[in-house]
Amino acid sequence: MGAGRYKIVYGVTAIEELDALPTKHRTQILRKIERLQAGLHGDIKRLQNADVTYRLRMGNYRVLFDVEESVIVIRRVGNRRDVYD
């Protein structure tokens, strides 16, 4: 996964899911997402046979996202048991 400077864009669903999270978890997740601007580093896995290309793991939470050139599009954010639905 490449290094570089990325712009972060949030989808409507991701914003709604972030707003529904407890403040402590939301703050930690947003901090992790912001780190993606410097490059795709962290516990990231490319997903197979999914609507979304990548997932970022943080404990029981997952951030599902796509990369479109130099833009990271956050699609879903939530608990691992719910986010893949």
The pLDDT of residue 9: 97
CATH of the domain at 22: 3.30.2310.20
Do the domain assignments include residue 2? no
Structure tokens at 50: 């999914």
CB 19 within 8 A of CB 13: no
CB atoms within 10 A of CB 72: 20
Question: Which of 20, 18, 19, 46 is CA-nearest to residue 32?
Answer: 18
Mean pLDDT of 33-40: 92
Q: Which domain holds residue 53?
A: 7-83
When divided into structural domains, the chain yields a total of 1
Question: Which of 69, 72, 61, 68 is CA-nearest to residue 37?
Answer: 72
State yes or no: pLDDT of 74 exceeds 60. Answer: yes
pLDDT digits (tens, 9 = 90+) for 11-36: 999 999 999 999 999 999 999 999 99
Do the domain assignments include residue 76? yes
What pTM was estimated for this model as a whole?
0.90
Do the domain assignments include residue 1? no
